[in-house]
């Protein structure tokens, strides 16, 4: 039987060459940022049990590893510290130590590899004994303005160390303006800001907290500063404020559960949009793969394509190394 059809959309899908000709979303290695955990507690790579194929890298190994990753085609890295418990305190004072791990490592990497993009996380959770992203006030709530002051001081140390971008991930009010102002006042006008603008209070962060050593016996409630997962208007407001305060790039985190937010940001702000495919997104695909339920590489790529299609220009992903040969 033959139908008299005017429209046959399958014509543009009939073989791989034709399908490639009409692909709408392009994913390149240059679009990816590889988050890297660096530890001062070990001299050998440490497996992160909840994140297969991801390690905490010792300081003495990280430069050679980044050379290897560059050979794969990866050029952008976000560095996260895992520091010894003895260096942590209620106020996270180690974050303001110019000789702290995350600043020293940046200098070492930059002195060895020039053509590389390094992104420095600005948050206090790796440095505090309580695991929160800021300084706790007398009533146990985050002291917003004191925290912002520390973050802006951290930004100077990060810029001096050589970071191309600082990435405040704390969700404090007014921190983008404070960081931009302090950077400019210290003549770091070329240091960019990737703002975690719409960072939701998500259940997907658990493996990351293990990786940086901020996990506790019970989950940490960060809902007084991270966004309510039920809310859209709240995310729109935060994106608008960070845009006005001087962010160079706006980020949505997590990524795949919030494709609608990514799409909104892409359509409404004349800035690059970043999305962070977080540890829980990574680990759930691995768990399904290890149970024989899903094909890991196919699902990882499909997930990344969905994030790109939604409007992300840049994607932070733990899959970067694994899929480098597949893009």
Q: Spell out the per-residue pLDDT of the chain, length 327, in tens.
A: 888 888 988 888 999 888 888 888 889 999 999 999 999 888 899 999 999 999 999 999 999 999 999 999 999 999 999 988 899 999 999 999 999 999 999 999 999 998 999 999 999 999 998 888 899 987 878 999 999 999 999 999 999 999 999 999 999 999 999 999 999 999 999 999 999 999 999 999 888 777 777 665 567 889 899 999 999 999 999 999 999 999 999 999 999 999 999 999 999 999 999 999 999 999 999 999 999 999 999 999 999 999 999 999 999 999 999 999 887
- Whether the CB-CB separation of 159 and 180 falls below 8 Å is answered with no
d(CA 36, CA 165): 15
Catalytically annotated residue among 87, 199, 222, 308: 199
Q: What is the CA radius of gyration of the chain?
A: 20
Query: Is 199 in the active site?
Result: yes
Pairing state between β 249-253 and 314-317: unpaired
CB 241 within 8 A of CB 188: no
Domains of the chain: 26-323 (3.20.20.70)
Q: Are 266 and 273 contacting, i.e. CB atoms less than 8 angstroms apart?
A: yes
- Say how far apart CA 316 and CA 194 lie, in whole Å: 12
pTM for this model (two decimals): 0.93
Residue 257 CA to its chain's centroid (Å): 15
Contact in structure between 315 and 277 (CB atoms under 8 Å): yes
Q: Cα separation of 197 and 181, whole Å?
A: 18
- Sign of CA pseudo-dihedral 309, 312, 318, 323: positive
Q: pLDDT tens digits for 197-224?
A: 999 999 998 887 777 776 655 678 898 9
Per-residue CA distances from 216 to 1, 134, 181, 278, 325 (Å): 65, 16, 35, 19, 37
Q: What are phi and psi of 6, to 5 degrees?
A: -75, -40
Does residue 218 carry a catalytic annotation?
no
């Amino acid at each position: 039987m033959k139908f008299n059809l005017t429209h046959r959309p399958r014509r543009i899908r009939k073989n791989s060459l034709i399908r490639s000709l009409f692909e709408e979303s392009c994913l390149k290695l240059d679009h990816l940022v590889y988050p890297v955990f660096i530890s001062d507690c070990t001299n050998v790579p440490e497996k992160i049990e909840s994140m297969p194929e991801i390690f905490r890298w010792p300081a003495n190994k990280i430069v050679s590893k980044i050379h290897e990753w560059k050979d794969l085609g990866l050029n952008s890295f976000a560095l996260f510290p895992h520091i010894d418990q003895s260096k942590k305190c209620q106020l996270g004072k180690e974050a303001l130590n110019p000789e702290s791990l995350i600043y020293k490592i940046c200098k070492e990497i930059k002195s060895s590899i020039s053509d590389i993009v390094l992104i420095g996380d600005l948050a206090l959770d790796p440095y505090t004994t309580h695991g929160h992203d800021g300084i706790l006030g007398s009533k146990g709530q985050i002291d917003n303005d004191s925290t912002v002051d520390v973050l802006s001081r951290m930004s100077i140390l990060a810029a001096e160390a050589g970071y191309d971008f600082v990435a405040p991930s704390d969700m404090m009010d007014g921190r983008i303006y404070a960081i931009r102002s302090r950077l400019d006042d210290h003549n770091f006008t070329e240091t960019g800001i990737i703002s975690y603008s719409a960072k939701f209070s998500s259940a997907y962060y658990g493996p990351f907290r293990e990786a940086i050593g901020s996990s506790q016996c019970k989950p940490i409630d960060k809902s007084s500063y991270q966004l309510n997962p039920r809310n859209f208007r709240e995310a729109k407001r935060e994106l608008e404020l960070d845009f006005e305060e001087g962010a160079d790039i706006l980020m949505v985190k997590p990524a795949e559960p919030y494709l609608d937010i990514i799409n909104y940001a892409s359509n409404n702000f004349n800035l690059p949009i970043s999305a962070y495919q977080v540890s829980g997104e990574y680990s759930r695909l691995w768990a399904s793969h290890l149970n024989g339920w899903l094909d890991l590489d196919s699902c990882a790529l499909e997930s990344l394509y969905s994030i790109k299609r939604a409007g992300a220009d840049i994607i932070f992903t733990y899959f970067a190394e694994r899929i480098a040969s597949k893009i």
